[in-house]
Amino acid sequence: MIFRTIINKNSIITLIKNSKTLPQLNQIHAQIILNNFSNHLITSTKLTHKLFDFQATNQAKNLFKSLTKTNPPDLFLYNVLIRGLSQNGCPLDSLLAYLELRERTLLEPDNFTYLFVVSAVSALGCEKVGVLIHGHALISGYAKDCYAGSGLVDMYVNLGKIEDAYKVFDGIAEPDTVAWNTMISSLVKISFFHECCVVFRDMVRKGGRFDSTTVAVVLSAVAGLKDLRKGVMIQCVGIKVGCDLHDYVLTGLVNVYSKCGDILSAELLFGLIKKPDLVSCNAMIAGFSLSGDIKSAIRLFKELVCSRGRVNASTVVGLIPVSCPFRHLDLLRSIHCFCLKSGMLLDPSISTALISVYCRLNEIELGKRLFDESPEKGVAAWNAMISGYAQNGLTEPAISLFKEMQRLDIHPNSVTVTSILSACAQLGALSLGKWVHDLIKKGSFDWNIYVSTALIDMYAKCGNIAEARELFNTMEEKNVVTWNAMISAYGLHGLGHEALTLFEEMLNSKVTPSGVTLLSILYACSHSGLVEEGQKLYYFMVNDHGFTPSAEHYACMVDLLGRAGQLKKAVEFLNSMPVSPGTAEWGALLGACMIHKNTDLARLASDKLFELDPGSVGHYVLLSNIYSVDRNYSQAASVRQTVKKQNLAKTPGCTLIEVDGQPHVFTSSDQSHPNAAAIYDKLEEIMGKMKDVGFQIETTTALHDVEDEEKELMVTVHSEKLAIAYGLITSEPGTEIRIIKNLRVCLDCHNFTKFVSKITERVITVRDANRFHHFTDGVCSCKDYW
């Protein structure tokens, strides 16, 4: 027994402070009652505080109630109660205690009261109550206080009201280190990394005193940005104030260097930590995994398990090869089994990471099974599954899952929105994309630069380039991805001059172009016949800016020259490349040979392609078509025979049209549609009218071993013709028809659509595998250059 002598109040308080377990504290409580100290307010306050520390919430609440029956509690005790309830997962009870303080006592809340109660409101996620408490703080004169103001900042950030958080912070008269740290850490918590760095810059400029905690938090933001230059600057700041060797600062530096690809420096910094804790080990494991050094990541993971026998969710998530999953399916399954045996699979962060990587490896069924079996599915898990579907071209399941999310009233975030907009863009589902846009405008989702960029991409790929540009113009903040999206959109629609103009604006805005920028602008030039302009831009980026081209850039240059008929220059460019041309470059040349009917170069390109990629049926089909155009039917038959012998299957052509928000997909000679009879009747009617005004069916690339009449029938029922016929019978006269083809539109269907737009006085928009074609009054926007 720890009580052998008569004790006084001071000794009781000391015992409470030094108690290590709840049973020990209960013994002290018993002695308080025996020695008639129950009514001593300071003693009871200390006891209540300690009970909350031991998470004995009900016991602390009962003690408070017993005190109110004998002595009125003071403000300090109320603050202990409000704080304890908030920290122990009882935010509503904490708020009720605050209301009791205001309504049933004469006590006036102080800055600590507001700090604790806004923490409870933040946990509740109730904006209206938060605004009300803010009003109380303003009236009481504490809104500009460092403690109360810091609490309000954190509350508004958690509620997603970033502007209000900034207003509160700017209103704090003299923010101290805690206030600055709160603002910085709150922004990091919601992944506003750039904004966090800006606040830290302001802190330094205004002479704010920062500590190792500040440096560590800012380093986590820099790691999120993957900005090594900023990381080195923060490291220098840490050296100047003498906190660069603090363990958590070193851990932050390990995180920065590893995420920026400098794993050697990260490992060196990790070695400076005298006693690496679990957090620093987790950072190093994640760094190894991120850099592709899976062996080192597994080695450190094994050391952790063997030496301490314990790892946490962050350890496992760091080990999962999210950044470089390919060829690591067996490792992923091993991690999955480890988590299953250890019970860690129930952790949402682990299951979400596994779902994400399974989807990236195209193991969709494994990912979906894990998703379905996860007891707690947060927004991140839904995002991983929706994004997985979208990235693998499974747009309809992605959209279905999003709708299910809506039915279950799970609030999506900006990642969800960008994923579903990507699915809409792939599918050409304009009506669904507009519906998502309406939800965004109503405030149902986070609106940020990534969502706006995804909307631009969606409208452009659904054929509405005007809406895409209008959105682009209204954006106050644009990053390089936003500029790329709009330039790419112009290229997709064959608007090369507009793409070039926008590129100039981008340079004038001091935004540094990326590899994607150059690819987008070259693509736009290629599909608009702007050969000289494309060449100038290419050599400007390579020679003046030291840009290293990739295979895609080389292929785009070959396409630029070849599409314009400059086949000799295209071959010269191939021969001058510093690396051996691959399938992309030779494929671009073969496509140009098809356009310009050059069989000699086609043989050269196809020989290279068959050597590099013998399993790709598209090259064989293209070569066969080139021979057919050249009327070399024996060679065309030989190529087709090779395809049959190798059991290569050609991708079937299909066309999608959206009617009343519902997608309808047609294949060649499709008879499965419920309205098939009406569709074919309409097609026959149109063909009759078209022939009267001079339309002739293009049969050049049809199989040569069938009669002319059969050739006509084969091309007559291409999928895009069926889709257009269906659009004509299901839409009002004069309205636009939009269709999407999974392959490049053929010459006959292109001519067919021009005639249809003329005789029906309709605007017809066609998106094929390469670009958009806008048909109006018998003319295509591509000017027959595609």
pLDDT at 468: 95
Handedness of CA 767, 768, 773, 774 (dihedral sign): negative
CB 158 within 8 A of CB 125: yes
For 446-467, give one letter per residue: b (16+ CB within 10 A) or e: bebbbbbbbbbbbbbbbbbbeb
Out of 218-232, 426-440, 556-570, least confident range: 426-440
Q: Is the pLDDT of residue 117 over 90?
A: yes
* Of 75, 85, 60, 138, residue with least CA distance to 112: 75
Q: How far does CA 107 lie from the centroid of its chain?
A: 49
Q: Which helix (H) or strand (E) holds 51?
A: helix 41-53
* Mean pLDDT estimate for the chain: 86
Q: Where are the domains of the chain?
A: 551-650, 654-780
Q: What does the block give as tokens for 45? A: 């306050």
Query: What is d(CA 383, CA 398) in angstroms, rounded to the nearest whole number?
Result: 10
Helix spans in 227-363 (H): 228-241, 247-259, 263-271, 278-290, 294-308, 313-319, 329-342, 348-360
Report the predicted TM-score, pTM, of the whole model to 2 decimal places: 0.66
Q: How do residues 529-543 score in pLDDT, each as one tens digit?
A: 999 999 999 988 888
Q: What does the block give as tokens for 314? A: 């962050």
Which of 399-413, 561-575, 682-696: highest mean pLDDT? 561-575
Q: How do residues 363-387 score in pLDDT, each as one tens digit?
A: 999 999 999 998 888 888 999 999 8
Q: What does the block give as tokens for 497? A: 């001059």
Q: How do residues 501-552 score in pLDDT, each as one tens digit?
A: 999 999 999 888 888 999 999 999 998 999 999 999 998 888 887 788 888 9
- Confidence band of 493 (pLDDT split at 50, 70, 90): very high
pLDDT at 710: 43
Q: What is the mean pLDDT of residues 139-145?
A: 90
Q: How do residues 442-470 score in pLDDT, each as one tens digit?
A: 876 667 788 899 999 999 999 899 999 99
pLDDT at 638: 77
Query: What is d(CA 267, CA 287) in angstroms, rounded to the nearest whole number?
Result: 9
DSSP 520-564: HHHHHHHTTT-HHHHHHHHHIIIIIS-----HHHHHHHHHHHHHT
CA distance readout (Å), 733 to 728, 738, 780: 8, 14, 20
* Of 16, 52, 17, 19, residue with least CA distance to 32: 16
CB atoms closer than 10 angstroms to residue 754: 20
Q: Is the pLDDT of residue 82 over 60?
A: yes
CA distance readout (Å), 404 to 133, 377, 397, 462, 621: 36, 13, 10, 23, 41
Query: What is d(CA 468, CA 489) in angstroms, rounded to the nearest whole number?
Result: 8
Any residues with CB less than 8 A from the CB of 481 and at least 6 apart, and which?
450, 453, 516
Q: What does the block give as tokens for 172? A: 């704090």
Q: How do residues 254-300 score in pLDDT, each as one tens digit?
A: 999 998 889 999 999 999 998 888 999 999 999 999 888 889 999 99
Domain 551-650 -> CATH class: mainly alpha
- Report the amino acid identity of residue 149: G
Q: What does the block give as tokens for 344? A: 């860690």
- Report the amino acid identity of residue 364: I
Query: What is d(CA 11, CA 267) in angstroms, rounded to the nearest whole number?
Result: 50
Query: What is d(CA 425, CA 429) in angstroms, rounded to the nearest whole number?
Result: 7
Task: Classify strands 662-667 and 654-659 as parallel, antiparallel or unpaired.
Answer: antiparallel
C-alpha radius of gyration, the chain, whole number: 34
CB 22 within 8 A of CB 58: no
Helix axes 531-539, 496-508, angle to 10 degrees: 30
Percent of the chain exceeding pLDDT 70 equals 93
CB 86 within 8 A of CB 94: yes
Q: Tokens 């932050």 sit at which residue?
A: 252
- Report the amino acid identity of residue 690: M
Q: How do residues 597-650 score in pLDDT, each as one tens digit?
A: 888 888 888 888 888 877 777 777 777 777 776 677 777 777 777 767 666 666
Q: How do residues 62-72 score in pLDDT, each as one tens digit?
A: 888 887 777 78
Q: Which helix (H) or strand (E) holds 657?
A: strand 654-659
Q: What does the block give as tokens for 779? A: 């003319």
pLDDT at 542: 86
For 245-257, give one letter per residue: b (16+ CB within 10 A) or e: ebbbbbbbbbbbb
Q: Is the pLDDT of residue 707 over 60?
A: no
Any residues with CB less than 8 A from the CB of 41 and at least 6 apart, and which?
67, 71, 73, 74, 77
Q: How far apart are the first and last CA of the chain?
A: 92
Q: How do residues 752-775 score in pLDDT, each as one tens digit?
A: 999 999 999 999 999 988 889 999
